[in-house]
Amino acid sequence: MSFQPSPVFVKMYDLLAWLLPATMQFPKSHRFIMALRVQNAALDVHERLIAAGKSQRAERRRQLWEADVRLEQLRLHWRLCHTLQLIEQGRYEHGARLIDEVGRLLGAWIEQAT
Kindly give the confidence (pLDDT) of every residue in the chain, 114 residues in length, as a single tens digit, with 9 standing for 90 and above.
Answer: 344 468 999 999 999 999 999 999 999 988 889 999 999 999 999 999 999 999 898 899 999 999 999 999 999 999 999 999 999 999 999 999 999 999 999 999 999 987
Mean pLDDT, all residues of the chain: 93
pLDDT tens digits for range 32-46: 899 999 999 999 999
Alpha helices in the chain (DSSP H): 7-23, 28-30, 36-53, 57-83, 89-113
pTM for the whole structure:
0.91
Contacts of 27 (CB under 8 A, 6+ apart): 86
Which top CATH class is 7-113?
Answer: mainly alpha
pLDDT tens digits for range 98-109: 999 999 999 999
Task: Report the C-alpha gap between 20 and 81 in whole angstroms.
Answer: 14
